[in-house]
Amino acid sequence: MSTRSEAELSGAESPYTHKGLTYPFGRRFPEAGELISVADGLHWARLPVPGPLKHVNIWLLDDGEGFAAIDAGLDIPPCREAWETLLAGPLGGRPISRMLVTHFHPDHLGLAGWLCERFSARLWMSREEWLFARMLTSDVRDAPPPDAFAYWRSAGWNEERIEAEAAKGWGRFASVVTPVPVSFVRLRDGDLVPIGGREWRVVTGNGHSPEHVCLLDEANRVLIAGDQVLPRITSNVSLSLSEPEGDPLGDWLDSIAKLRRLPDDLLVLPSHGDPFMGLHARLDALDAGHRDRLNALAEHLEEPRRAVDCFSILFGRKIDAGIFGLATGEAMAHLRRLELEGRAAREWRGDTAWFHSTQSSPISR
């Protein structure tokens, strides 16, 4: 289904191995508006995403006279244009028969409502993801709520940064997400979903989002992994304003252990990056990476620190204004995990939470 010439593709399709993972399609990837078949009845497209991610992968499954789409991209003009090119070209005018969304984040959900309305298709999601999406798209206001100011101050943000963030208003999620359908088909962990000639088992994860859906075709050894397993980067795991006493990193580590029980010989289809094989090696690396940062952070807390004082330990790059919020949430998640493990204590000084180490030796959950 590719529209690129053989010369352009020369050598790009050669499989290669990097850091224990095998990339069976080589360095080939779909350009905007292009479709690549990765298995019988299963196709790969990419939509543009602003910023360092650059793209989100979507998957289209033959579903009778139409296609079941998995994830939809942001509600921004370049994504709509890419969809129009796909629909008029590689999809051959066939409709979207149903819209499955792995989780509520806008690069996955953004255009789902638009596609559902356009094709009279049903939205399929897990309940917690759908509820989060409905809540966030309805919560639009001129100024952030008081809880947001308290959250930022607790992490150590200065007043200048807080004022700059507050000036942006509240509810920007809705600006890149079309209206979420008021009804949906619920996906539960363990459900079997027939699509075309395949049967997909729902496998849910947690930590990056509340009830993230992965889809496993065990007969054909394929896992549509969403953001739950990415080949080269680590998904953001943040302590959110909506659940400040939660444990997203603990949930994330538990989900890694759960996915580790799946077969290792699966073709993994991630939402960012390229299809790969080597599921267990990647899960082991993700687990080890977080535990290594937890141990380094525990040592860093020999002196009391705020969340913003921990960026240099957790991240290998400068944190600019564009990702300051994500970095804050990730730091808070790691500090909270250390607190729950009994390796750090939280002390309030005015509006700010300071953490200090109670035990710096490594502990496994």
User: Residues 81-101: pLDDT tens digits?
Assistant: 999 999 999 999 999 999 999
* Residue 258 in this model has a pLDDT that exceeds 60: yes
What average pLDDT does the structure give for the chain?
94
pLDDT on residue 200: 98
Contact 269, 275 (CB under 8 A): yes
pLDDT on residue 11: 57
Q: Count how many residues are written for the chain.
A: 365
Minimum mean pLDDT range among 166-170, 178-182, 221-225: 166-170
pLDDT on residue 1: 41
User: Residues 219-234: pLDDT tens digits?
Assistant: 999 999 999 999 999 9
- Residue 326 lies inside a defined structural domain of this protein: no
What's 10-58 look like in SS3? CCCCCCEEECCEEECCCCCCCCCCCCEEEECCEEEEEEECCCCCCEEEE
Question: What domain range is 162 assigned to?
Answer: 6-301
| Mean pLDDT computed over 230-240 | 96
- Residue 331 lies inside a defined structural domain of this protein: no
- Residue 342 lies inside a defined structural domain of this protein: no
pLDDT on residue 317: 84
Measure the CA–CA gap between 53 and 71, rounded to whole angstroms: 16
pLDDT on residue 165: 95
User: Residues 126-151: pLDDT tens digits?
Assistant: 999 999 999 999 999 999 999 999 99
The total number of structural domains in the chain stands at 1
* Residue 317, SS3 per DSSP: coil
- Residue 121 lies inside a defined structural domain of this protein: yes
Return contacts of 147-155, CB within 8 angstroms, 24+ apart.
Answer: 147/241, 148/241, 150/351, 151/241, 151/244, 152/328, 153/351, 153/352, 154/244, 154/307, 154/351, 154/352, 154/353, 155/306, 155/307, 155/308, 155/328, 155/331, 155/332, 155/352, 155/353
Measure the CA–CA gap between 254 and 248, rounded to whole angstroms: 10
User: Residues 7-40: pLDDT tens digits?
Assistant: 344 457 899 999 999 999 999 999 988 999 999 9
User: Residues 184-195: pLDDT tens digits?
Assistant: 999 999 999 999
As beta bridge partners, residue 56 has 47
Any residues with CB less than 8 A from the CB of 39 and at least 6 apart, and which? 220, 222, 267
User: Residues 284-328: pLDDT tens digits?
Assistant: 999 999 999 999 999 999 999 999 999 999 998 889 998 999 999
pLDDT on residue 358: 82
Rg of the Cα atoms in the chain: 21
Give the residue from 82, 79, 28 showing the smallest Cα distance to 50.
Answer: 79
- Residue 328 lies inside a defined structural domain of this protein: no
pLDDT on residue 305: 96
pLDDT on residue 8: 46
The CATH number that applies at residue 89 is 3.60.15.10
- The pLDDT-based confidence of 359 (bands split at 50, 70, 90) is low
- Residue 361 lies inside a defined structural domain of this protein: no
Give the residue from 50, 48, 5 showing the smallest Cα distance to 28.
Answer: 5
- Residue 123 lies inside a defined structural domain of this protein: yes
Measure the CA–CA gap between 213 and 180, rounded to whole angstroms: 17
- Residue 309 lies inside a defined structural domain of this protein: no
Q: Tokens 């980067």 correspond to what residue? A: 233
